[in-house]
Amino acid sequence: MIGQKMEDLINNQINAELYSSYLYLSMSAWCSQETWNGFAHWMRLQAQEELSHAMKFYDYLNERGGTVRLAAIEKPNDTWASPLALFKEVYEHEQKVTAMINAMMAEAIKQKDYAAEIMLHWFVSEQVEEEANASEIVAKLEKIGDSTGGLFQLDHQLEKR
């Protein structure tokens, strides 16, 4: 049986992962509209990944005898100034998610909730990868600057994800 505090944190995280999915889907839509098809593809896959994160927490909560309580999902932005502005927001968002996962891990350790700790290990590693992927794209976009040719090349590269 899961404790109330951990149950609340997991429900909150389900909402955060669904919001991430919603945000990235909105970003994908903007990229498509701007005919950045590679960026759109990358963001669309990312949206799917975030949905799978929400479902990992959802399944875990069910398995542990907790109650899944779905809350309203915040409306994401739908316009960005540039691909760089968009990917900077992805990176900042992922850092926020990392802080949430770390706070959950700290609570699991405090409560000696070993099952939650083991489940959260996967997310701690996943966030390392998520931040690295986003920051790498930001760094490339910063180097590209105003070069349209460079943007097309990166867009083409991300289409292969």
Give the H or E element holding residue 142.
helix 114-144
Dihedral sign for Cα atoms in the order 155, 55, 97, 71:
positive
Question: Does the protein bind Fe ion through residue 44 (CB under 5 A)?
Answer: no
Taking the C-alpha atoms of residue 83 and residue 69, their distance in angstroms, rounded to an integer, is 35
Residue 46 CB, nearest distance to Fe ion (Å)?
Answer: 7
DSSP symbol at 69: -
Q: Is 112 helix (H, G, I), strand (E, B) or coil?
A: coil
Residue 89 CB, nearest distance to Fe ion (Å)?
Answer: 12
Q: Would you say 113 or 130 has its CB closer to Fe ion? A: 130
Residue 36 CB, nearest distance to Fe ion (Å)?
Answer: 20
Q: Would you say 119 or 151 has its CB closer to Fe ion? A: 119
Q: Which of 7, 113, 130, 155 binds Fe ion (CB under 5 A)?
A: 130
Residues lying near Fe ion in the complex (CB under 5 A) are found at 17, 50, 53, 130
